[in-house]
Structure 1
Amino acid sequence: MAPNMRQGISPFLEPGPRTKANSLAILQLSRDNFLPVHLQHATGEHDGYAEGVVVNTRFGSFPHSTMIGVPWGSQIRASKVDTGSRGRKRKRVPGDDAARDENENENGNESAEPTDTPSGPKQAIAASSGFVHVLPPTPEIWTTSLPHRTQVVYTPDYSYILHRIRARPGAVIIEAGAGSGSFSHASARAVYNGYPKEGERKGKVISFEYHEERYKKMKEELSQHGLQGIVHLTHRDVYKGGFLINDGESPEAEAVFLDLPAPWDALPALSRQRPEGAEGATESGKPWVSPLNPKKNAYICTFSPCIEQVTKTVSAMRRLGWVDIDMVEIANRKLHTARDRVGLNLPQDRGVNNSARDVEEAISKLAEIEEKFRQHARPARSAENTGSKHGDNGKAVSNRKGAREEETSTSSRPWADGRLIVRGEPEIKTHTSYLVFAILPREWSEEDEAEALAKYPLGQEKAVVGDMDKASRKKLRQELLKKQGDKKTKRKEKAEKLDEKMDETSG
């Protein structure tokens, strides 16, 4: 188990310029293969490794000491680590224990020679091959490398969800169904505007998880990643317990994300007023407490894999007053970009088409092949006599070949040579889930109406848009222009009189 992060800002939010000990880092093994690692300082041998804590991959062994204090994105070379003898013990022969005990009794502790123990881990020595890249943790990379405990909300889905539910710094989001924590990390970054102090309202994610084992693992991950101040995780069944926190306190959320098998059963707890038949107001007469912000509209998204779940959710939303209901399905498709390089003199590399790129190159290649065939078929004894006959032709072929190679080597840039080709995936990724979006308008009370009337009183409007016909608007416009002209004329006359007075005074 990795140790908890020291108190500080999470590397998901502000990673800093370099890697740090007791923090999370992502090792990129290949293009789509990532490995999360908690970097640790070792004071000596660890788990049989003299170099301290070591990460073993198919590309080599990497001690943590070589990955701490380096800039993010650095290439880390593999090290020579003895992975074969660690943990091995000498095979004992019967009678060794008795002989050893007898020897210790005879000689006593004074005869025992002190053993030298190293004061720190062994210095890592770079290997001849193998490397990885160390990357800062981001929600996108974490989604591809996290341990799957449930169905994961992937980057194309949660990026669109956060956009539609208006997630921004300072907002409060309710998440039901934390699962593997993919959406929790992404939403924490979206609402982050600083760690909250006592009595201060900052961006926060109120997350709920009913499965106890997943709740414990999620709690541990949040502590390790330094997000416990941004994500408030609660172990609860929201169908029965609702979305309140701290013994009945409202989180005053502005956005909601429900990743539940039956979101329609959780919707009554997200109402402005106590709906009929909903649990929440006890017999003692306690008032209904809504988990939503009463001064702002509430935006919701439900994540359901089946269309039957969507129909039930939409029906419940309509009964509870949600408006602008919309369903979206995300179909992600990757585009691969490459350059199609064509030529006979190009190396046998990936993405290279070794065929003639024009007629001239094809003729030159055919002449070269024909000359080689003639030289091979010519008898050895007549090579000297006939060499002069075909020498000019061979020289011409070699000259054309050399000129072609020189042209290719001087004018070709491998990174910009060839046609730029963009190919999409042959098949779109399989279906993940349907996203249902809706808006619950803010509650409008009599106090709000009175405040609006006091600020914008009725019956005292100077003009009403659309209340005048075209001729009246034209006449009003002419009067306004005339008034502006009169003002300019008066200012001009006043300036002239002032100039005359100044002239008289100076004269």
Structure 2
Amino acid sequence: MLPTDPMKKLSFKRHISDGDLVIVYEKHDNMKAVKVSEKSVLENRFGVFKHSDWIGKPFGCKVSSHKGGFVYLLAPTPELWTLVLSHRTQILYIADISFVVMYLELIPGCVVLESGTGSGSLTTSLARAIAPTGHVYTFDFHEQRAIAAREDFEKTGLSDLVSVGVRDIQGEGFPKDLVGRADAVFLDLPQPWLAIPSAGEMLKEDGVLCSFSPCIEQVQRSSETLASNSFTDIRTFEVLLRTYEVREAKMDQCQTQTQTEEGTPGARPFKRKQRASEASNWQADNSGSPSVMARPSGEAKGHTGYLTFARLKCIA
């Protein structure tokens, strides 16, 4: 049974129990969320794993199958949950989420309003930031998405920190019982400028609003509306993340591969299978001297959206 104390739900400094949600780590690009049930088993290419063998073990442990294969049992942190959750809509990833949590100045005890909920990727991180005494009120106009998100928050032990509502924030605004209670508001809407006047009513003085938009035209219109609705310090950011691969490889083979990838003017990018095959050859070549090499990852995420922040003016 999950503990009733929200901090225990979020700390994961405990052992796995029957009914817990765990993230099964098979390899760096293959993880899945599994609810532990004493009579269930997990079957994959690494073997058969009995859930009963997991119960009582600490999060982060390595468990083996009868075939000798193994997996890791990880706690469902917001970062990992973002990677394994069901994508009901386009989601925010770690780079944008980290920036949003920091720039909204979230600390334990804050009250945050969010629209729309979508797949709940950001909501999960907002809840951890404001725990154990804060609260997130998140809204989605699509009832089935809201129901699915509510079920996910139950699975991850966040239901005490998150309230999910079905509401068209663009058309109706936020509920009036939340007026003046919010420390921060996050908008992920097609027409965020329609919700900005209502968001201003919900915010405390000096509260911060963030609007996520994929198109710069949305940013321009939102910024105009913010300026005319008592908001100041309006700023827009685009967060681009570049990851690197660091591993041991043979110098001669790496130089050849670098020339192939970068030395040919107008060369087309490698296909995914081609990159994966050549990456596996980093250690396959026996010629040359081994050395630790670093290079940009072959697959880097580009533009996701623009983050526009604004602060509600204080009344003099």
Interval containing the TM-score (normalised by the shorter chain): 0.7 to 0.9
Instruction: Please give the alpha-carbon distance, in whole angstroms, between the structure 2 residues aligned to 1:10 and 1:169.
Output: 11
Q: SS where residue 303 of structure 2 aligns?
A: coil
Structure 1 partner of 2:276:
none
Distance 1:19 1:141 in 2: 17
Q: Which residue in 2 is equivalent to 1:305?
A: 214
**Structure richer in strand, relative to its length:** 2
Alpha carbons 1:342, 1:352 under 8 Å: kept: no
- Alignment partner, residue 303 of structure 2: 431
Q: Is the 8 A contact 2:174 2:202 kept in 1?
A: yes
The residue number in structure 2 matching 1:234 is 165
Q: Deviations over 1:232-273 (max 9, x none)?
A: 21111112332236xx343611111101111000001123xx
Residue aligning to 1:292 = 203
Partner Cα separation in structure 1 for residue 163 and residue 16 of structure 2: 27
Structure 2: give runs of 5+ residues left out of the alignment: 253-279
Q: Distance in 2 between matches of 1:309 and 1:63?
A: 50
Q: The residue matched to 1:436 in structure 2 has which SS?
A: strand
Counterpart CA distance in 2 for 1:239 and 1:20 is 42
Note the 1:7-406 alignment, pairs <5 A: 7-9=4-6, 13-41=10-38, 52-78=39-65, 127-192=66-131, 194=132, 202-244=133-175, 248-250=177-179, 252-271=181-200, 290-293=201-204, 296-341=205-250, 351=283, 353-357=285-289
What does residue 276 of structure 1 align with?
none
Q: Identity of paired residues, percent?
A: 34
Distance 1:11 1:146, change over 3 A: farther
Alpha-carbon distance, 1:350 to partner? 5.2
Moved more, 327-336 or 181-190: 327-336
CA change 1:10–1:147 in 2 (3 A) is farther
Q: Aligned pair count?
A: 289
In structure 1, what is the Cα distance between the partners aligned to 2:8 and 2:239?
29
Unpaired runs of at least 5, structure 1: 42-51, 79-126, 195-201, 272-289, 358-417, 445-507
Q: 1:233 to 1:129 in 2, by over 3 A?
A: same
Judge conservation of contact 1:329–1:435 (CA < 8 Å) in 2.
yes
1:121 match: none
CA contact (8 A) 1:172 1:251 kept: no
The separation in 2 between residues aligned to 1:419 and 1:314, in whole angstroms, is: 50
Conservation of the 8 A alpha-carbon contact between 2:62 and 2:73: yes
Alpha carbons of structure 1 residues 251 and 216: separation in structure 2 relative to 1, 3 Å: farther
Relative contact order (alpha carbons < 8 A, sep ≥ 6): 1 or 2 greater? Answer: 2
Amino acid paired to 1:261: P
**Which protein is bigger by CA-based radius of gyration?**
1
